[in-house]
Amino acid sequence: MKKRAWKKLISFSLVIALVVLVGCQALGSLDLSKSIVDAMLANSQMSKQSLTLDLITDDSKTSKSDEESAVLKLFSHLKLNLDQVKQESLEKISVRGSLEVLNRTIPFEAFVSPTLLVLKLEGAKKPLVLDLAGKAIDSADLLSLGIEKDIIEQFTSKITKDVNLHKAALNFLVNGLPNPEGITLDNVTETVYGESLSLNHVQAKIDGSQIIPLVKKFVLNLLQDDKGLREFVSQFYDVVQPVLIAVFDDMDKKEAEAKAKAEADAIADSEATSSDNPDLEDPEANYEDPEANYEDSLGYDSFLSPILKGLESVLKDRAMGIELIHTEVKQLLVLAMVGLQTVDEIKDPLVKDVFSDKSYVKADLYIDNSGKLRKTKTELNFTPPAEENEGIESVKLTMESEHWNINEPVIADVIDTTDSFTMDSITKPAEMLAILDKDSALYLLLKDDLQITKKSIVLNMSYSEYEPYSMLPYIDNNVTMVPARFISEQLDADVTFDPATQQVTVNDAASGNKIILTLQSKKAIWNGDTFNLEGAVRNRDGTTYVPLKFIAKALGAEVKWEDVTKTITITRD
């Protein structure tokens, strides 16, 4: 359990370090907090960005499998270049860039709007389109509660677009960031998008040993900023209030319906009992009190119902609702502080190694005289504990960016989707390869380097000539027969059966091959050509069997017999 525990701490330590790296206390006349918040809320801008991941490994110390080694090789150097980012608004952005991986460069273009994500990959025959409508949040649960669709859409729109909410949240969080030791400010001349500018240069660096103290200070600042917290909670409450009201109204409606049904059922049962027993002296003797039963039909008991009613009353009242949420957030911050103190007190060598001075985060921010963030460079370096690194000496992540035309008119580049593929229609690796040119860098990366279509199937042979309903291969007149659908689908091919013609059709996206098999026939059609089979295609107990050698060859697979284990291995690259 401890062997890979350090991996679970990487994200926590580096992300937290990045958050607290550049504190937001004022540096001289520079309002760093405002610059960061304004940069995050910029409505429009143009930029160029890059993200580089480097893994420094020592092969002599690794005990990884071939697959794990391949993954390490993949991430040994990976770079994402966003050469041109056009942000027309917070909802409409276009990107032109490239991905560098395994000595291959894959250019791409992308366009994002509130309803669509369009990706144009070099080597793809058409653009790929993902419908984003309704994907911003999973609305199925809200709809199941009876909340109207327009309420859900209003909630989604406010969460994603409400600038006041975003600003309140960012101000609360960013204002709480403490300044690390050694933060510096000087004036430099830097080039941004080919323009030489005089900029305020903020530089900061922290190592792993400083993370916990800085985060504790950050949480303490949040606890002390009651005004900022109340502003954020107020904005948040106003966004979620319509959904809360809809949820509670739906609960009230269901409760009333359940109570009415319970009363009607009780009366009906009483009348039925009286009718069946005309000599019964007291017709109401079998009448069941609906108050005792209707809570069960709602899924909660009489103890919980008043609590929910009380919560409903509190949350429907704005002042009380805000106070309740404010109190809960405060309690969560207190728990966070206790947790951080606990981590700080842990004597585990592994924890101390993770939060050691061997790992660090360094940032350079360049801000112009109007307070706009124009250029950044952030470097994160994590060194795993020596006894737990599994051959990974260090992990380095470098992010750089330049920004211009901030809050000025910008037009995003729309990608034409008239002739395109939908991403939802691509469910198998072979289907992805089918839309790519075979000479393209992306195709070669996926097919040769990552081997996304590589398949291996191991089948146990039947102990007799044929075992009913087992779907095991068997020998028929010295011909090995295998289940056609199982083999084909395991190799990501699609299979259909036409009862009228008694034909099985196999479409293989990976190779583009089409195979037609006819029951009781020794002939098969492969891409329009007729081939003789070693044995007839047979249906046994609802399963279609076909000669192994033919179906494997038609699907581009190789067959190997393991005499010791009596198994058949079918592989395809």
Integer Cα distance of 97 and 395 in angstroms: 24
Q: How many CB atoms lie within 10 A of CB 142?
A: 19
Strand, coil or helix: 179: coil
CA 195 to CA 107: how far, in whole Å? 26
DSSP-based helix, strand, coil % in the chain, nearest 5: 40, 30, 30
Cα separations in angstroms, 324 against 161, 193, 315, 320, 463: 25, 49, 8, 6, 69
Q: In the chain, what is the straight-line distance between the N-terminal and C-terminal CA atoms, in Å? A: 34
Residue 375 one-letter amino acid: K
For residues 209 and 395, give the distance between their C-alpha atoms in angstroms, rounded to a whole number: 17
* Tens-digit pLDDT string for the chain (573 aa): 444 444 443 344 444 444 445 555 556 678 888 888 888 889 999 999 999 999 887 766 665 566 667 777 777 899 999 999 999 998 899 999 999 998 899 999 999 998 899 999 999 999 999 988 755 444 455 455 455 566 666 677 777 777 888 888 888 888 888 878 778 889 999 999 999 999 999 998 888 888 888 889 999 999 999 999 999 999 999 888 877 777 777 777 777 777 788 778 777 766 666 565 555 555 455 545 555 554 554 444 455 667 777 777 888 888 998 999 999 999 999 999 998 888 777 767 777 777 788 888 899 999 999 999 999 999 999 887 766 666 788 889 999 999 999 999 999 999 999 999 998 888 889 889 989 999 999 999 999 988 888 899 999 987 767 888 888 999 998 899 999 999 999 999 999 999 999 999 999 988 889 999 999 999 999 999 999 999 999 999 999 999 999 999 999 999 999 888 889 999 998
Which residue ranges make up each domain of the chain?
5-235+326-444, 455-572
Residues in the chain: 573
Q: How far is CA 66 from CA 62, 80, 571, in A?
A: 11, 26, 17
The CATH superfamily of 455-572 is: Copper amine oxidase-like, N-terminal domain (3.30.457.10)
The Cα-based distances of 161 to 89, 114, 155, 165 in angstroms read 11, 10, 10, 9
| 429 contacts 455 by C-beta, under 8 angstroms | no
- CA angle 227/232/233 to nearest 5° reads 95
Residue carrying the six token digits 């398949």: 455
Model pTM score: 0.77
Residue 149, number of CB atoms within 10 A of its CB: 11
